Structure 1
């Protein structure tokens, strides 16, 4: 839905429609229909009848998937015959709703015709048509349009759960005000009615989320009144909603005769919340510049975590990086995006982005590494807090003030200047006092001791590897060596480990062995990755990166999946390494039937 709505906002012409009785047009395989039998009788005196539903049923967990999968199959089978209609089904449909836009009038009319013909092959009929140009609906019967002779034309309709005004081509946001809620159940029920997948009214929802968090922490009963301080805050928020004028947000964020398009993102955090906002900066052939909010994301700060302000700012910047990557992927085929610019008002975070993750503590290093991957081709800049639109998300804005807010909907005014140039952040002034830098024993300015220690460790690991013909044996010996060294460093008051080896100790030993082999075979690649450069060897196709432990792992699109980290980013092993042979041999022995 998020991607569909994004694409819906970047073209001049549009049409909306939905598939009439979509579920009822899909037959279930005869072998499966017995699973939809219903036993029924009108009275206890009548015999029981068996009714069988032969089409997709409403209310089943699988229903939406089955219907969507049928549409997908239809689009794939006839993509060569109906290329525009197939693309519309794959990219612009959500269950039975179709939301399509395009800058060329003839093209969108052709999309409509192909869509009708393609769906008719699956016995699907489209109705509730509406558009912002009468030529699009010229051949659509009146009874199939959103309005008819019997019904007065509705100015506001619902598309993908959002109120949309067809006349002025804009989204409408106005809360459904009822009797003031006074219990936890009523308050949460009211807040859950807010629906804003693009985050266009994000600052309002931040305040609502804060109240929701406070309610859960208070642990009051569902039908009990919240504590006085929470109830007061809720009443003030509700009172402000009643005075708020409906928000009207234009759908099309692009200029006519647009020649240049840029994505501009902002992130910010406070002790209560953090978030990001993304804008489309458009330039037409006359040099006119427009900036419009296209989406935002926000998160409430967890109360059970003692995160420092730099870490909160880092989480906000990471949210921006993830959101911008998704926005860019959704719009890159719709617009010619020349540049992407990202902004933060935290100089510490911007300096971290220019720091090798190996030098940072694990919490920061993992996030910085991901951000560097996601925003490798983007430019990060510094922006003052009072000029940062994302500040509206981190601190919230009163419902009465949001519509007239100078920053939220159009971004900083100085970016509307045609002569404004985006500049990269210069981190030289803050890099010397950065927090979260790993503490290394010894003087870092005297490289000798550190290098010597590294050489000794590598020598020990190398000797162990060559001494044993079993990876598990070498792993356990090295784990005991590491424990012995750890025990030597402990004071008398600290407990010395002398029991069985733990999984963590064995895993650390294995990682150290693999790291030794990678240093032996991939030293030039590691050096380039440490310098922030891409590899030039055969590893390049794997999009390699260094993790927080200095190990080379596979990058790529799996990073967006829900798989565990080790599955998404496998450790790369040298092909000719003795260790690789031992690992493969060990797995064969374990899995031998």
Structure 2
């Protein structure tokens, strides 16, 4: 985030950065010594087992802001009323220099979370009984639940990848205050770097029963700004001069059409000689072509 801010300020390589960026740089440097006191347990569980009676779930939290995107994956062990949660992996990305709306960034964060959870599940040797993906973006969840082919290429491509890696029913809504991935998307000058914070242990509701978890709304307002532009084509249908439904044979319909075309030619043409007598092969062939064109125009 700091590198991008310096880049946007327009400073060249050999010039000094502005005072605001310099203060953020000094603040970041002061955080480095605190990392030496941070201790993260190597084992995912301390009080539960990985037996057959233990339910093991993989929870993925995704979030995005104007400065970046983040995804955090947790393992949840539930055994005989005891629950343990531990951080497995995190992936963060800064927002691109090219402007993207917050809903689009939220959708991209969902893609990052789906990829990370898929990578972790392939690397783990334990059996996962349930996958849950949490997002506080109603727009992103609406896109994932809807027919992605109706949306723009940006949305459709990313939703398609999400559906290849996850199930729609596994995506849930979570309030922003309970979304731990929110902490990875903002610049924070003061951090509490201890192993007992929710960033490493997961949100508090994961330690409760599933009935007490956040409830996902059944209906969400569908965002309209990413829908594909539809082109409506209006065509005029011409009524047939010969009612083809009144004929029982193709030969009778073609001969009646040839006579109708001859009548119109004789009535409207002043420069040609009137035609009389029996129908010629050319008139019959022209009548057949007329019906071929009419059928193609009606069907295609």
Normalising by structure 1, we get a TM-score of 0.36
Q: Answer yes or no: is the 8 Å Cα contact 2:205–2:212 preserved in 1.
A: no
1:280 is aligned, of 75, 99, 108, to 75
Counterpart of 2:227 in structure 1 is: 437
Counterpart CA distance in 1 for 2:207 and 2:70 is 23
> Which residue is 1:265 aligned to?
60
Higher radius of gyration, 1 or 2: 2
Who is 1:220 aligned against?
12
Q: Alpha-carbon deviation of 1:246? A: 1.6
- Following the alignment from structure 1 to structure 2, what is the Cα–Cα distance between the partners of residues 368 and 335? 28
1:309-337 Cα shifts (integer Å, max 9, x gaps): 10010111110011111111111xx1111
How many residues are treated as equivalent by the alignment? 231
> Please, which of 153, 158, 175 is the counterpart of residue 367 of structure 1?
158
Deviation at 1:398, TM superposition (A): 4.4
SS of residue paired to 2:22: helix
Name structure 1 gaps, 5 residues minimum: 1-209, 443-448, 454-593
Bigger RCO of structures 1 and 2 (CA < 8 A, at least 6 apart): 2
CA contact (8 A) 2:27 2:189 kept: no
Give structure 2 stretches of 5+ with no counterpart. 237-300
Cα distance in 2 between the residues matched to 1:421 and 1:295: 25
**Corresponding position: 1:307 with 2:97:** no
Q: Is the 8 A contact 1:264 1:342 kept in 2?
A: yes
What is the SS of the residue equivalent to 1:297?
Answer: strand
Q: Secondary structure at the match of 1:226?
A: coil
Offset of residue 377 of structure 1: 6.9
Aligned to 1:491: none
Q: Which residue does 1:471 correspond to in 2?
A: none
CA contact (8 A) 2:2 2:21 kept: yes
Sort the Cα spacing of 1:265 and 1:399 in 2 relative to 1 into closer, same or farther, 3 A.
same
Give, in whole Å, the separation in 2 of the partners of 1:323 and 1:379: 15
- Give the distance between the partners of 1:409 and 1:429, measured in 2 at CA: 31
What residue is the counterpart of 1:383 in the other structure?
Answer: 174
Q: C-alpha separation between the residues in 2 aligned to 1:418 and 1:330? A: 28
1:390 and 1:402 map into 2 onto residues whose CA distance is 16
Matches within 5 A, 1:482-493: none
- SS of 2:12 mapped into structure 1: coil
Shift of residue 424, structure 1, vs aligned partner: 7.6
Partner of 2:141: 350
What residue is the counterpart of 1:339 in the other structure?
130
SS in 2 for 1:248: coil
TM-score (norm 2): 0.69
Partner of 2:208: 417
Contact 2:48 2:84 in 1 (8 A): no
